[in-house]
Amino acid sequence: MRKVKKFLILIFSIIFILIGIIYVTSPLWVRYAIFYVLNRNFGESFKVEDVRYVFPDKIQIAKLELGNFASFSNVSLSIGDAIKLSPITLELIKPKIIIIHDEKGEWKFPEIPGIGKSGTSSQNISIELKGKIKDGIFVIRDLKLKKDIEINKVNGDLSYKNQVVNYNVATILEDGQNIKAYGYYNFSKLSGDLTFEFKNTNATIWAPIFLPDMFKVEKGTFSGWFNTKGDKDKWSYSGEIDAKDIKGSISGVPGIIENVYTKVKINNENISIVQGNGVWFEALVNFSGKVAPNPDIQISFKNLNGEKIDKEFLNSAL
Q: Which of 182, 163, 160, 179 is nearest to 171 (CA)?
A: 179
If one compares 102 and 308, the residue with the highest pLDDT of the two is: 102
- Residues 255-307: tens digit of each pLDDT: 788 899 989 899 988 889 888 888 888 888 888 888 888 888 888 888 776 66
Question: Which is nearest to 89 in space by CA: 52, 59, 49?
Answer: 59
Spell out the domain ranges in the chain: 29-168, 190-318
C-alpha pair distances (Å), 303 with each of 3, 24, 27, 168, 311:
112, 82, 77, 48, 16
Name 250's bridge partners: 215
Q: Rounded distance, CA 166 to CA 161, Å?
A: 9
117 — pLDDT class (breaks 50, 70, 90): very low
Alpha-carbon distances, residue 86 vs 2, 77, 103, 201, 205 (angstroms): 48, 10, 38, 39, 40
CA separation for the pair 103, 142 (Å, rounded): 8
pLDDT at 49 over 80: no
Per-residue pLDDT of 127-154, as tens digits, reads: 677 788 888 888 888 887 788 888 888 8
Note the pLDDT of residue 68: 56
Distance of CA 77 to the CA centre of its chain: 22
Nearest-angstrom CA–CA distance, 182 and 69? 18
Is residue 54 scored above 70 in pLDDT?
no
Beta bridge partners of 47: 65
Residue of 126, 148, 123 lying closest to 137 (CA atoms):
148
User: Is 261:281 a contact under the CB 8 Å cutoff?
Assistant: no
Residue range 68-81, pLDDT digits in tens: 556 666 666 665 54
Largest CA distance in the chain: 120
Q: Using DSSP bridges, classify how beta strands 88-101 and 129-142 pair: parallel, antiparallel or unpaired.
A: parallel
- Tally helices (H) and strands (E) across the chain: 4, 16
Q: Mean per-residue pLDDT for 193-203?
A: 90
pTM of the model: 0.67
The stretch 184-208 carries a mean pLDDT of 87
The pLDDT score that the predictor gives to residue 124 is 46
Would you place residue 99 in the very low, low, confident or very high pLDDT band (cuts 50, 70, 90)?
confident
What's the pLDDT at 55?
60
